[in-house]
Amino acid sequence: MSLRLEGKVAVVIGAAGGIGRGVAERFAEEGARVLIGDGKEAEGRATAAAIGGDFLPVDVSRYDDVQALVDLALERYGRLDVAVQNAGIYPWQLIEDTTPDDWDRVLGVNLKGCFNVARAALAPMKAQRAGRILFTSSITGPRVTGPGHGHYAASKAGINGLIRAAALEYSAWGITVNGVEPGNILTEAIKEHRGADYIADMEQSIPLGRLGSTRDVANAFLFLASDDASYITGTTIIVDGGQILPEGNDFRIEVKNL
Ligand SMILES: NC(=O)c1ccc[n+]([C@@H]2O[C@H](COP(=O)([O-])OP(=O)(O)OC[C@H]3O[C@@H](n4cnc5c(N)ncnc54)[C@H](O)[C@@H]3O)[C@@H](O)[C@H]2O)c1
């Protein structure tokens, strides 16, 4: 059986842990050479070692760091097929408590980070006349939101706009640009920041009855990175267990004869 990313070279930023780690693992399982960039050096190196990949410390909000990771991919493997920008931060802050610096930090990582990756990946992908650029967006911002997510929601809605703009500009070279919008995904960060009560409550409001796994999200990235998605560009896949569907809280029906 052939592997779905055999011979491909992928950079995945924000892959020391959480969803990004799941994406890096899934890509490596399917035969890709994976280079991880992340701000957390020890965890990033450990993840790269576990999947037989490379690691470079990267602050995705800094263009030169992102360029250095792309250059490393070209130096080691001579090509770049897939570039994933998954790094994101989600501090809970009401707008009235958010300082201009807080705003810049969240937008700098989440949104400017995607611009940096799209810009740095362009030259090698243009030369190859092929490439996949993939961003982690969110249902928060493009579809729904809650209090405390002003900067985060703006950054993720902005990512969806950038996906469409870049997809259009890059189409001339056969490069596709897409994203994944996760709902509530059970990562260590969510367990730590939100706690058991939040998770139990969330399970009640997700039609499929559970939070998503990092592998659920990674499978959507794998599809978008694979040849199966060669005619898809400028869009996102929602991976949320149906969370954005209900109009209200009374959506559960009694299922008879189960
Ligand atoms: N977990 C969820 O429920 C959920 C839902 C929707 C969207 N998302 C998005 O998924 C992505 C991953 O989230 P997660 O829950 O796995 O979080 P996480 O904190 O486990 O992982 C984020 C990774 O990004 C890295 N990172 C943070 N800032 C960085 C920077 N400036 N430069 C480079 N690396 C940096 C972190 O070190 C970490 O390894 C984020 O973009 C987040 O907004 C998560």
* Chain CA centroid to CA 26, Å: 13
Ligand 1 atom closest to the Cα of residue 14 is 24
pLDDT mean across residues, the chain: 96
Report the distance separating Cα 169 and Cα 139, nearest Å: 25
Non-local (6+) Cβ contacts of 112 within 8 A are: 61
Q: Is the CB of 142 under 6 A from ligand 1?
A: no
Residues 6+ apart with CB under 8 A from 144: 243, 244
pLDDT digits (tens, 9 = 90+) for 177-229: 999 999 999 999 888 878 899 999 999 999 999 999 999 999 999 999 999 99
The reply to whether ligand 1 has any atom less than 6 angstroms from the CB of 61 is yes
Q: How many domains does the chain have?
A: 1
Cβ-based neighbours of 149, under 8 Å, separated by 6 or more: 90, 92, 140, 141
Would the CB of 23 count as within 6 Å of ligand 1?
A: no
Is position 247 within any domain?
no
> Which tokens hold the place of 53?
């990949």
Confirm if 114 and 43 have CB atoms less than 8 A apart: no
What span, in angstroms and rounded, lies between the C-alpha atoms of 234 and 160? Answer: 8
Residue 222 lies in a domain: yes
Task: Tell me, in angstroms, the distance from the centre of ligand 1 to residue 175's CA.
Answer: 25
Question: Cα separation of 173 and 11, whole Å?
Answer: 19
- Sequence-separated (6 or more) residues with CB below 8 Å from residue 151: 91, 93, 98, 102, 103, 106, 107
Q: CB neighbours of 17 closer than 8 A, spacing ≥ 6?
A: 40, 43, 47, 187, 188, 189
CB distance 39 to ligand 1 below 6 Å: yes
d(CA 237, CA 178): 8
Q: Is residue 184 part of a domain?
A: yes
The answer to whether residue 218 sits within a structural domain is yes
Per residue in 22-80, pLDDT tens?
999 999 999 999 999 999 999 999 999 999 999 999 999 999 999 999 999 999 999 99
The catalytic residue positions are 152
**Residue 192 pLDDT:** 85
Distance 193 CA to ligand 1 centre (A): 13
Task: Specify if 194 maps to a domain.
Answer: yes
C-alpha torsion angle, residues 207, 210, 215, 221 (rounded to 10): 30
Nearest atom of ligand 1 to the alpha carbon of 19: 16
For residue 243 the two structure tokens come to 């969370």
The response to whether residue 40 sits with its C-beta less than 6 Å from ligand 1 reads yes
How far is residue 236 CA from its own chain's centroid?
A: 11
CATH number at residue 82: 3.40.50.720
Residues of the chain with pLDDT > 70: what percent?
Answer: 98
**Quick check: is 253 in a domain?**
no
Tell me: pLDDT of 17 over 80: yes
CA of 19 to the centre of ligand 1 (A): 7
Q: Which helix (H) or strand (E) holds 84?
A: strand 82-85
Helices (H), 30-62: 41-51
Q: Whose CA is nearest to atom 2 of ligand 1?
A: 185
Q: 195 — phi, psi (to 5°)? A: 85, 170
Which atom of ligand 1 approaches the CA of 110 most closely? 41
pLDDT band at 257 (very low <50, low <70, confident <90, very high): low
Task: Please give the distance, rounded to the nearest whole angstrom, from the Cα atom of residue 187 to the centre of ligand 1.
Answer: 9
Nearest residue (by CA) to ligand 1, atom 41, is 88
Does any ligand 1 atom lie closer than 6 A to the CB of residue 87?
A: yes
Protein residue whose Cα sits closest to atom 36 of ligand 1? 14
Where in the sequence is the domain holding 205, given as residue range(s)?
Answer: 9-239
pLDDT tens digit sequence for 215-231: 999 999 999 999 999 99
Which among 187, 205, 215 is the best mutation to test ligand 1's pocket, defined by most ligand atoms within 8 Å of the CB? 187
Per DSSP, what are the bridge partners of residue 176? 132
250 domain-assigned: no
Domain-embedded: residue 248: no
Number of Cβ atoms within 10 Å of the Cβ of 237: 19
Query: What is the Cα–Cα distance from 88 to 75, expressed in whole angstroms?
Result: 27
Cα separation, 37 vs 135, in Å, equals: 14
CB of 203 closer than 8 Å to CB of 169: no
